[in-house]
Amino acid sequence: MAKNLAGKSYEVLTAEGNRWILDSTHTVRSAALGQAESLLAVTFNKPEGVRVVSESERTGALEVIFEERLDRDPNVISLAPVHESPVCEKTIDFYSFPARRTAGKLLRRLLDDRGMTALELAFDPGQLMMLERNDKLFGPAMQRIGGIQAKADGSKAMDRVEVIARAFEDIKKRAKAEPNAEKYSALLRAKGLNALVESAGQWEKSVNERRLAILGALAGRISGSGGWGGKILHLIAMSRDAPSPEAVAYVDEIAAEILDGAGAVMEILGGQPDMATANRQLINLSRGSVKPPKNPISCIVELNEMMSRFDLPLTRQVLLERVEHEISGIQNLTKEGRSGERDAFVGLVRFLADGEGMLGGPGMCEAVVKRARIILSEGPNDLTREQAIDHLLDVMPNRAVRLGFLLDLAVSPTGAKDPVLIKQAIDRIMRQLNHMASLVPDASGPDMVINVVNGLKQRLNQQGVPDDWKARIAGELDALVGRLAGGGNGMPKKAKNAYGMDEGAKAMNDKTSEQITFKSGDILFEEGEIGELAYLIISGEVEIFRATGNKERVLAILDRGEIIGEMSLIDNSPRMASARALSDLKLSAISRSSLQGRLDRLEESDRVLRRLIAVLVSRIRGQAQSPE
Residues 354 and 476 in one domain: yes
Residues 54 and 111 in one domain: no
- Give the pLDDT mean for 59-85: 72
Q: Considering only 35-49, 264-278, 481-495, which range has the smallest mean pLDDT?
A: 481-495
Residues 342 and 413 in one domain: yes
| Mean pLDDT over each residue of the chain, to the nearest integer | 83
Residues 349 and 383 in one domain: yes
**In a 3-state reduction of DSSP, which class is residue 501?**
coil
Q: What is the predicted pLDDT for the residue at 588?
A: 86
Q: Considering only 152-166, 455-469, 500-514, 610-624, which range has the smallest mean pLDDT?
A: 500-514
261 contacts 111 by C-beta, under 8 angstroms = yes
Q: Could you tell me the sign of the dihedral formed by the alpha carbons of 474, 475, 476, 477, in that order?
A: positive
564 contacts 544 by C-beta, under 8 angstroms = yes
Residues 194 and 222 in one domain: yes
Question: Which DSSP string corresponds to 425-462?
Answer: HHHHHHHT-SSGGGT----S-HHHHHHHHHHHHHHHTS
399 contacts 439 by C-beta, under 8 angstroms = yes
Q: Considering only 16-25, 29-38, 419-428, 510-519, which range has the smallest mean pLDDT?
A: 510-519
Q: What is the predicted pLDDT for the residue at 396?
A: 86
Q: What is the predicted pLDDT for the residue at 589?
A: 82
Q: What is the predicted pLDDT for the residue at 79?
A: 84
Residues 394 and 447 in one domain: yes
Residues in a beta bridge with 49: 69
Assess whether pLDDT exceeds 60 at residue 488.
no
Query: Residues 129-137: contacts with CB within 8 Å, 24+ apart?
Result: 129/172, 131/107, 132/168, 132/172, 134/110, 136/76, 136/77, 136/78, 137/77, 137/78, 137/79, 137/107, 137/110
Q: What is the predicted pLDDT for the residue at 557?
A: 84
Contacts of 421 (CB under 8 A, 6+ apart): 385, 386, 389
Per-residue confidence band for 600, with pLDDT thresholds at 50, 70 and 90? low
Among 459, 485, 511, identify where a domain stops.
485
Per-residue confidence band for 567, with pLDDT thresholds at 50, 70 and 90? confident
Buried b / exposed e along 29-42 (16+ C-beta atoms within 10 A):
bebbbebbebbbeb
Q: What is the predicted pLDDT for the residue at 71?
A: 53
Assess whether pLDDT exceeds 50 at residue 627.
no
Assess whether pLDDT exceeds 60 at residue 75.
no
Q: Whole-angstrom Cα distance, residue 289 to residue 304? A: 7
Residues 570 and 455 in one domain: no
127 contacts 138 by C-beta, under 8 angstroms = no
CATH of the domain at 552: 2.60.120.10
200 contacts 210 by C-beta, under 8 angstroms = yes
Q: How many CB atoms lie within 10 A of CB 313?
A: 11
Q: Considering only 122-136, 331-345, 583-597, 602-616, which range has the smallest mean pLDDT?
A: 602-616
Looking at per-residue confidence, does 328 or 249 come out higher? 249
- Give the pLDDT mean for 528-546: 84
Looking at per-residue confidence, does 171 or 528 come out higher? 171
Per-residue confidence band for 626, with pLDDT thresholds at 50, 70 and 90? very low
* DSSP H or E segment with residue 572: none
271 occurs within a structural domain: no
Q: What is the predicted pLDDT for the residue at 498?
A: 40
Looking at per-residue confidence, does 226 or 362 come out higher? 362
From the number of C-beta atoms within 10 Å of its C-beta (0-12, 13-18, 19+), residue 135 rates as: exposed
Q: What is the predicted pLDDT for the residue at 555?
A: 81
298: left (phi over 0), alpha (psi -120 to 50) or beta: beta
Residues 339 and 478 in one domain: yes
Question: Which DSSP string corresponds to 123-171?
Answer: T-HHHHHHHHH-TTTHHHHHHHHHHHHHHHHT--HHHHHHHHHHHHHHH
Q: How many CA atoms lie within 13 A of 546 on its CB side?
A: 17
Q: Whole-angstrom Cα distance, residue 68 to residue 48? A: 9
498 occurs within a structural domain: no
Buried b / exposed e along 398-428 (16+ C-beta atoms within 10 A):
bbbbbbbbbbbbbbbebbeebeebbbebbee
Q: What is the predicted pLDDT for the residue at 499?
A: 40
* Nearest residue to 216 via CA among 254, 190, 162: 254
Q: Whole-angstrom Cα distance, residue 139 to residue 224? A: 28
Task: State pTM to two decimals.
Answer: 0.70
Q: Considering only 430-439, 456-465, 582-591, which range has the smallest mean pLDDT?
A: 430-439
Residues 133 and 63 in one domain: no
Q: What range does the domain containing 37 cover?
A: 8-69
Q: What is the predicted pLDDT for the residue at 139?
A: 92
Residues 346 and 467 in one domain: yes
Q: Considering only 26-35, 203-212, 453-462, 532-541, which range has the smallest mean pLDDT?
A: 26-35
Assess whether pLDDT exceeds 60 at residue 502.
no
Could you report the per-residue pLDDT of 394-406, keeping only the tens digit for each? 888 788 899 999 9
Residues 110 and 255 in one domain: yes
- Give the pLDDT mean for 240-269: 94
Report the domain count for the chain: 4
Assess whether pLDDT exceeds 90 at residue 259.
yes
Per-residue confidence band for 621, with pLDDT thresholds at 50, 70 and 90? low
Radius of gyration, alpha carbons of the chain: 27
Residues 443 and 366 in one domain: yes
224 occurs within a structural domain: yes
339 occurs within a structural domain: yes
User: What CA–CA distances, in Å, run from 389 to 138, 342, 366, 395, 560?
Assistant: 44, 15, 10, 10, 41
User: What CA–CA distances, in Å, run from 525 to 533, 563, 625?
Assistant: 10, 13, 17
One-letter amino acid at 526 equals: E
